[in-house]
Structure 1
Amino acid sequence: MNRQRALAVTAAGAIATALTLAAGAAPASAEILDAKAEAARADLTGNVSQGVIDELQETFGLTEAEAYDRLAVEDVAADLLEEVPADLDESYAGLWVSEDADEIFVATTDASDTAGLRAEGATPVLVEHDLAALEDAAAAVAPISMEGYYGNYVDVVANTLVIETADAATAADLIEASGIDPSLVTVDAEAEAPQTYFVRGGDSYIVENSWRCSVGFSVRQGSTPGFVTAGHCGSAGDQVTSGEAAPGTFRNSVFPSSDRAWVAVGSGETLYDDVNMYSGTRDVANATQAAVGSSICRSGSTTGWHCGTVQAFNQTVRYAEGAVYGMTRTNVCAEPGDSGGSFISGNSAQGMTSGGSGNCSSGGTTYFQPIGPALSAWGLTLVTT
């Protein structure tokens, strides 16, 4: 793969310097990443549908070969995302895929981690704040209810906690009320108020003959079939009365705080191990978490299939109905009625559409509820290929 090395990453209140070798020397991490990606690509060849390759080409302006290169690097990043945080422990500050998906960065507060990270194929980045410190600050801010406060998330690339508010004064009040160190914070004082993507009649599934949402993924609880979706789509006991999905009953639902639910359907209903792309289908193979910067796509009954990238984990979103924690932030668009729909990266289920801002005409930000908490909390098994 053809690489250009990033020399520095900077942000207000953060020092983030890429730890590169002497000028003219190719970092060992690049060679190792190339080898790992080549092995991953060999596994991907023949196991990725042409639809996946076509959408990556269209979304990111890639050739077919470059689309396979991107998937291979993202596959390596997903493996490192499971391994590196435990290896670095207190010094770990985040992992992300570069914009062109030709490099994997790992941030650390300890320069002695450099050699080990390079040996894994990652490019080390020295930063000021470890991830735990930023997440602790996020946890201190998240529960505060204040008009004009829309949410927060940790931006691992910029090594900062981003607070989203209607204006700078609200952000200042919020920082003071939470007692966090202002040097950890970057303020987005022009954020749009998020809304849950809800209902206006039509396709997918209808709850209580009144509002529409979208199916996330097929699941089973023991021998009981069903699907996961967004919690704000229905409360426990609500009925799915019509639409494309089989009739069923909301067994469990959490909203706000989280935004997850599962619907049980009849024992004779068929569960499909794929996602509607509105131009075909996408197989679901597993629920491996994709790294920040990875490509990701969303399916929903209002706007169909749209793609983009993962921007951040553990986003706090403050809807009018209350705060929701632990969301994943993306730049994929969505609109009302897409709620509950599938977020998938490659063939890995990621989560269920929650809400956001903007639309699919002008673009926007969309948050999804990671699927893991729903599966573990309710003993659900994802239906896969």
Structure 2
Amino acid sequence: MTELYIEGGRTLLGTEIGETSLTISGNVIAGIGDAAHGAFGLDASGLLVMPGIVDIHGDAFERQLMPRPGVDFPVDVALIDSDRQAITNGITTVFHGTTWSWEPGLRGADNARKLLAAIETLRPQLAADTRFHLRQETFNLDAEDEIIGWMKDGRIDLLAFNDHMDLAGISKPAKRARMVERTGLSSEAFDQLVDRVLSRADQVPASIARLAEAANAAGIPTLSHDDNSPAMRAGFRDLGVRIAEFPINEETAIAAAEAGDFIVFGAPNVVRGGSHTGWTKASDMIARGLCSVLASDYYYPAQLLAAFRLVHDGILALPQAWSLVSSAPARAAGLTDRGDIAPGRRADLLLIDDSIALRPRIVAVIANGKLAHLADGARLRPATALPHQAIAAA
């Protein structure tokens, strides 16, 4: 069994950071503070050693699928490229947020099916633990039976309820134009499609309830997206949906927090200093205890950068900021084997150079006990050779 050793890093243990060493055996953390005895080691002196980032909502992979409107690339190529991007930004567990909408094109049925099949096929080859987060557009009624079948077969890891019929562009010309472009339809054909979809609006609540019931039966965590009122959040909570994803106002976030729901905001919101949509400012919500999870959303570097931005701005200490991108999203997703550093936990670890304010640099990534990324300047223990397994992973 391959053993690794991380020597002398400033390591996050619980809510404290202190210098220690770690031993990894197989794919788990085997010891803390033990004498060096690994097959090879990483010198972490001067570096932070942190749990791997868990990203429960990211759709940046869509940029690899369709880098320009109407320009498609093979799904396997896109996923492999996205995996490298995730790992080099410290994301060791990634949920690809795949939208299955009533619209054709990038977010249509064919792409959802292809993405799920590709993730399942490629998963053993990918460095990050890659999981399927299905974002079901609630007006996508024809997909209900197939999605329930996927859940029964254990193929879905997270299920989100989205409604972009209004919020994503039907009533907003600029966003509508982007949707039309994404579908490949003419403007007239798009409007006709919208009319057909809206004609079945009375069937949507019952469909949501059936999907939520199936998810609960399968033990799949569920999310509601862009909750716009405490009443909307309460309605989803009554269905067992306990993750509020991007509540769009303070009142809804307060209601979610008071009920003990997980509350997700986008890490790019923190890094940029506000929402690109003009909605809730995530750093304000965090300061008030109204955010428990930060997700990459549409930009893989954002979680790493956001944690250090929160520290720099005096909003949270690093252990608390890091929980937003590691232990809390792991709990929200029902993953009890990762998110913190302790004996027996999955060995997902990051070595980070934090010497430049607001610009942390990933020096090394260990994912599931394997060395998945090693940056220039990383220090291996002298006179030791990398095991074959680690070389293959790196």
Report if TM-score (shorter chain) is over 0.5.
no
Normalized per residue, the structure richer in helix is 2
Which range, TM-score by smaller chain?
under 0.3
Which structure dedicates a bigger proportion of its chain to strand?
A: 1
